[in-house]
Amino acid sequence: MRKRNKHTVSEKKANLKQEIINIAGKIFDTFGYRKATLNDIAEKIEKRKSAIYYYFNSKEEIFQSVVLQEARTFRKTIIDAINKEDNPHDKLKAYIVTRMNIIDLLGNFNRALLDKRLMHLDFVLRLKKLYDKEEVLLFKNILQKGVEQNYFQIYDIDLAATAFITALRGMENTILQNKNASDIDKQIEGIIDIIFYGIVKR
């Protein structure tokens, strides 16, 4: 009986910690990291601020948990989309479409990567370096398999992966600014066509 009660208490603590992360994520996404306060979070979860300090030492630590949770969601969604496809061409397309569609839904993760005002947070710098490295590696692996299976003709895969990611990020900002446009899917398809086929007449 004691073990069961102990397990129940442990579950309640884990659930409350997760609730804090989920609520904080919405608040950070709405007001931004700098303007959001622990009082805002405490009010939403209907607990005293001291209850938050039981799980987290600071607002920064909560934000880190929020961003890392969104980063895991981003990575899993991308990898699941890639794994559903059979050939490198479709994997690359799935990667681009999924990335474009999900990045704006994960506001805190996206902001941590793009907002220079957050670069003073050590974990943001570490996350950005890790994300940059992992994204290029993921893209590189798809291109490598494409070359091996004769889908792509690429002479410098490292350079191509870096160039594609850089181009994607630049175009991504334009797409996100017009995310409510009725032809959003057509915009994404246009980007994919340019990346695959370029602009040179053949």
Q: What does the radius of gyration of the chain's CA atoms come to, in whole angstroms?
A: 21
State which amino acid sits at residue 158.
D
* Half-sphere exposure for 64 (CA within 13 Å, toward CB): 16
Residue ranges of domains in the chain, CATH in brackets? 1-56 (1.10.10.60), 58-197 (1.10.357.10)
The Cβ of residue 82 has, within 10 Å, a number of other Cβ atoms equal to 19
Say how far apart CA 67 and CA 131 lie, in whole Å: 12
Query: What is the distance between the alpha carbons of residues 162 and 139, in angstroms, rounded to a whole number?
Result: 8
* pLDDT, tens digit, 9 for 90 and up, residues 155-187: 899 998 888 888 877 777 666 666 665 666 677
pLDDT, tens only, 27-37: 999 999 999 99
Q: How confident is the model at residue 202 (pLDDT cuts 50, 70, 90)?
A: low
Identify whether the C-beta of residue 87 lies closer than 8 Å to the C-beta of residue 8: no
Q: For 18-27, 65-74, 95-104, 176-185, which range has the lowest pLDDT when averaged over its residues?
A: 176-185
Average pLDDT of the segment spanning 1-18: 72
CA distance 114 to 106: 12
CB 94 within 8 A of CB 84: yes
Three-class DSSP labels, 166-186: HHHHHHHHHHHHCCCCCCHHH
Task: Indicate if the pLDDT at residue 1 is higher than 50.
Answer: no
pTM > 0.85: no
CA 52, 55, 58, 63 dihedral sign is negative
Contacts of 119 (CB under 8 A, 6+ apart): 125, 128
Burial 94-112 (b: 16+ CB within 10 A, else e): bbbbbbbbbbeebbbbbbb
Candidates 177, 182, 165, 181; CA nearest to 78 is 165
pLDDT, position 98: 87
